[in-house]
Homo-oligomer: A and B are copies of this chain.
């Protein structure tokens, strides 16, 4: 009975799963290899045997979640663009193509909503866009595809404006995923308890309006 790479009984797989949970909860740098291997019922040396170093383990965890999401993003954008051959693809559909794959990743149970949010947040907050070498080409391609889709959707935007407004939108998503639970807490219930789907809709509405905003003379 061969152990497949996905076999949850395999040490490598157990370490990977414990690592992603702990990284999301507490951060990449703070979590120690002994925390991880302790939770995974494995020996400390297993990390260096299977991954080479802590840094490479971090890369493996990131790759595992970032690659499929970015692939789905491009596929979804392709599908939308195929349907909008006559009129240009509207902004909210571009944003949807970016956000929905994350939603699928959450609801498919790969990670809980809260954990996944914190994980994506730490990817930005702690690593500052510095993704592992292996995922950078895909990431670059995805970003280029979305920038040009955005500019076709809002032709009056200069390239510079388009880039900054994409950056702004990314800030909305990251901050909401990471700290949406905190907002619910500190508001004392006044922020309600909207579903993740509802929040994504609100984000799209907010960002679409921001991206389409036109200068007003003050």
Contacts and interface: CB of A to CB of B under 8 A. Distances in A.
Which of A30, A192, A199, A210 lies at the interface centre, i.e. has the most chain B CB atoms within 10 A of its CB? A210
Contacts of A208: 213
A186 interface: yes
A71 interface: no
B175 A170 contact: yes
Interface in A90-146: 92, 121-122, 124-126, 128-129, 140, 143
A163 B183 contact: yes
A120 to B, nearest CB: 11
Interface in A44-58: none
Contact of A163 (B191, B212, B215): B191
A144 to B, nearest CB: 10
Contact of A176 (B128, B167, B211): B167
A119 to B, nearest CB: 13
Nearest to A121: B125
A174 to B, nearest CB: 6
A75 interface: no
A158 to B, nearest CB: 9
Which of A125, A140, A182, A212 lies at the interface centre, i.e. has the most chain B CB atoms within 10 A of its CB? A125
Nearest to A174: B175
Contacts of A203: 168
Interface in A151-184: 159-161, 163-165, 167-168, 170-176, 178-180, 182-183
A207 B206 CA distance: 8
A175 B167 contact: yes
Nearest to A182: B129
Contacts of A35: none
A176 B183 contact: no
A202 interface: yes
17 contacts: A29-B30, A92-B218, A129-B179, A160-B194, A164-B191, A164-B194, A165-B206, A167-B191, A168-B202, A168-B203, A168-B206, A168-B207, A170-B175, A205-B216, A206-B210, A206-B211, A209-B209
